[in-house]
Amino acid sequence: MTELRPGLHRYVAPLGERFVALYLFVGTDAALLFDTGVRDSVTETLLPALTADGIDPSRIRWAINSHCDFDHTGGNGALRAALPGVQLLAHRLDRALTEDVERLIGERYGEFAAMDGFDDPPATTAAVRADSDLVLLDGELRGGEEFDLGDRRVRVIHVPGHSPGHLALWDERNNALAISDAVLGRTVPTASGTPAFPPTYRDTDDYLQTIARVRGFDADLLLTAHYPVYEGAAVSGFLDDSEQYVAEVDDAILGALDKIVEPASTLTIIRAAGAALGPWPAAALDYSIFPVTGNLERLRDRGVVRESIRDGKRYWELAR
For each of the domains in the chain, give its residue range(s) and CATH number, in order of start: 3-233 (3.60.15.10), 242-318 (1.10.10)
CB of 199 within 8 A of CB of 289? no
Where are the alpha helices (H) located in 83-196, listed in sequence order?
95-99, 101-103, 113-116, 122-131
pLDDT in tens, 118-152: 999 999 999 999 999 999 999 999 999 999 999 99
Percentage of residues in the chain with pLDDT exceeding 90?
98
Q: What are phi and psi of 217, to 5 degrees?
A: -75, -20
pLDDT in tens, 70-114: 999 999 999 999 999 999 999 999 999 999 999 999 999 999 999
Tell me which long-range contacts 92-98 makes (C-beta under 8 A, separation of at least 24): 92/140, 92/141, 92/142, 92/165, 93/160, 93/163, 93/164, 93/165, 94/65, 94/67, 94/68, 94/163, 94/164, 94/165, 94/166, 95/137, 95/140, 95/165, 97/68, 98/65, 98/68, 98/73, 98/134, 98/137
| pLDDT reported for residue 320 | 76
Sequence-distant (≥ 6) Cβ neighbours of residue 181 within 8 angstroms: 66, 67, 69, 72, 162, 166, 224, 225, 226
Query: Helix, strand or coil for residue 215?
Result: helix
pLDDT in tens, 44-81: 999 999 999 999 999 999 999 999 999 999 999 999 99
CA separation for the pair 113, 67 (Å, rounded)? 22
Q: What are phi and psi of 228, to 5 degrees?
A: -65, 170
pLDDT in tens, 181-207: 999 999 999 999 999 999 999 999 999
Q: Quick check: pTM over 0.95? A: yes
